[in-house]
A and B are shown apart, each in its own frame.
Chain A
């Protein structure tokens, strides 16, 4: 075979290597590739590199977190409860809705019967499910007396948590409501505060988390609020929420825990806007004095930062400290 022919054959075979690894070549194509690989060391090398590439593809596969699956299942249960059925004609839609909600959530979440699945999760889970349900259920009339004025339709969307016989022959029913309900009060109200702290962490809606974090900013002097803001800055999947948490923590930039969180996001946050804000907040009001604790993290950032703007900002801070941009 002439040299150009051999080169063409190599190109032709290399184009097919990915399909070869997937086992998707026809018999004839496979035959051509394998025959050539037997005689061409360079193409065997190319096959090894293609294998490495496939292994690298495997490493970017995302496994959804179990919490996301649980949220999806709970929200689906709520959505089906408010969705018209296609399969059967039930005489009483209210009864069917109640049954759907209970059975589906129980089956898909794998928790036990009779409300036991709600107990260990406590108020936070109940709140999260409330949010999910609120997204999909139509707004129902609410009243300050709660269950006492609920109609049959309202009752069907609720979950009986406990039943106790009273001594006078009456029955006491504890109901976990999954319908929309409006609660209002100031940030100093312990119930409001507890719900906001839970919503900032657990709401499935990033818009709700962002609004909650923004509200909590006014109370960032309190330790429990600041802990939640730090947690959101470190762990929230939404960059907008992380930026709002950062804004809330701005006034406490000298606090050790807050500073540590800023340094962490500086090195690990995937969003360049958040990293830039971390640079600003870590260096705000510092003047020309060198902050020895920060030189290391800034140098480390220079080593791995891809974004040209963030690199430039980082470099300029290091220059103002007369520190090198590299680690030797």
Chain B
């Protein structure tokens, strides 16, 4: 069953509580005017989803914690610049996704630097060896629980940071591509192409498991 998108959930909340949307704008304005309680309520309204996104993308509590801290600190420092030309959710997610993309890119660089090793036959990429082991492994061992999960994690690591981000926002956060485009500062079409590439790569790598 497909998860409802954040927008659908937000609409449901507003439908149940017509004052909800108004309340958020009021909270933001109050926080912009220095109301500390209002700022703390804003943090509390969004921080669980921010931490979940960072944790799923980075798979490291330490890195997720750093992104959480830096994101809300930036919100605090720049809230006076927020002009309501997009939703607060989109604005906050722009900050969070930029921080996560930076982290993922740094990791990619580190991985690329360290994965190539010298051998008597010339340079060998350890990542290639890992992939071959996955394909040639004994099919019976695939039956063990956790095998598919760990393979999915590996494949997610192999996506480019942008593909990973778009997949994560669409699949786990339930954002529509239009909204993802807004968050990432690109078009809906570009986000769609990115999601298409991500899903194609994952189907190619994991198709044998299902």
Partners in one complex: yes
Residues of A near any B CB (own CB < 8 A)? 15, 18-19, 21-24, 49-50, 52-54, 56-57, 59-64, 68-69, 71-73, 75-76, 79-80, 83-88, 90, 99-100, 103-104, 107-108, 204, 206, 237, 303-304, 306, 308
Main secondary structure of the interface of A (DSSP, over half): helix
Contact of B33 with A83 in the complex, beta carbons under 8 Å: no
B51 within 8 Å of A (CB atoms): yes
Give the Cβ gap from B206 to chain A, nearest Cβ, in Å. 6
The answer to whether A64 touches B61, judged by C-beta atoms less than 8 angstroms apart, is yes
Query: Nearest CB to that of B41 among chain A residues?
Result: A107
The B123-150 residues at the A interface (CB cut-off 8 A) are 133, 137, 141, 144, 146, 148-150
What's the count of A-B pairs with C-beta under 8 Å?
136
Contact call B51/A68, Cβ cutoff below 8 A: yes
Q: Is B59 engaged at the interface, CB distance under 8 Å to the other chain?
A: yes
The stretch among B11-19, B77-85, B89-97, B101-109 that forms the contact with chain A is: B77-85
Say whether A108 contacts B40, CB under 8 Å: yes
Please measure, in the bound complex, the distance between the C-alpha atom of A272 and the C-alpha atom of B170, giving whole angstroms: 33
B203, A18: Cβ atoms closer than 8 Å? yes
> Do B61 and A19 have beta carbons less than 8 Å apart?
no
How far does the Cβ of A104 sit from chain B's closest Cβ, in whole Å? 5
What is the size category of the interface that chain B forms with chain A? 35 or more
Give the chain B neighbours of A304 by CB distance below 8 A.
141, 144, 146
User: B152 touching A57 by the CB < 8 A rule?
Assistant: yes
How far, in Å, is A50 (CB) from chain B's closest CB? 7
| With A72-B68, A85-B34: A24-B177 Cβ-Cβ less than 8 Å | yes
Do A69 and B152 touch across chains, with their CB atoms under 8 A apart? no
Query: With contacts A19-B192, A64-B55, A76-B43 known, is A86 near B65, CB below 8 A?
Result: no
Beta-carbon contact of B80 and A87 below 8 Å: yes
Q: B41 — which chain A residues lie within 8 A by C-beta? A: 107
Find A100's partner among B36, B52, B68, B195 (CB 8 Å cutoff): B36
Known A49-B207, A62-B59, A64-B51: A22·B202 in contact at CB below 8 Å: no
Q: Are B40 and A104 in contact (CB under 8 A)?
A: yes
Quick one: CB contact mask for B144-185 with A, threshold 8 Å, 1 for yes?
Answer: 101011101100100000000000001110001100000000
Query: A57: which B residues are within 8 A, CB to CB?
Result: 152, 171
Q: Can you list 18 A-B pairs, Cβ within 8 angstroms, ordered by A?
A: A19-B196, A22-B195, A24-B170, A50-B210, A53-B206, A53-B207, A56-B149, A57-B171, A64-B52, A64-B55, A72-B69, A86-B78, A86-B80, A87-B80, A108-B40, A306-B133, A306-B137, A306-B141
- Among B48, B170, B207, the residue within 8 A (CB) of A69 is B48
Smallest CB separation, A83 vs chain B (Å):
6
How many angstroms between the C-alpha atoms of A23 and B5 in the bound complex? 11
Closest to B140 in A: A303
Q: Which residues of B contact A18 (CB under 8 A)?
A: 195-196, 199-200, 203
Report, nearest first, the 6 A-B pairs whose CB atoms are least far apart.
A88-B34, A18-B199, A107-B40, A52-B210, A49-B210, A72-B68
Closest residue of chain A to B146 (Cβ to Cβ) is A304
Q: Give bound CA distance, A75 to B69, whole Å.
A: 8
- Looking at the assembled complex, report how far the CB atom of B46 sits from the nearest CB atom of chain A, in whole angstroms: 11
Residues from chain B with a CB closer than 8 A to the CB of A59 are 149
> Is the Cβ of A53 less than 8 Å from the Cβ of B52?
no
Cβ–Cβ contact B149 & A19, under 8 A: no
A61 CA / B167 CA spacing, docked (Å): 12
- Nearest B residue to A204 by beta-carbon distance? B65
- The docked-state distance in angstroms from the alpha carbon of A147 to that of B68 is 33
Chain B residues whose CB sits within 8 angstroms of the CB of A85 once the complex forms: 34, 76
Closest B residue, CB atoms, query A18: B199
Residues in B with CB closer than 8 Å to A87 are 31-34, 79-80
Q: Using CB atoms, name the residue of chain B closest to A53.
A: B210
Q: Taking CB as reference atom, which chain B residue is nearest A109?
A: B44
Q: What A residues does B68 contact at CB under 8 A?
A: 72, 76
The interface centre, meaning the residue of B52, B69, B77 with most chain A CB atoms within 10 A of its CB, is: B69
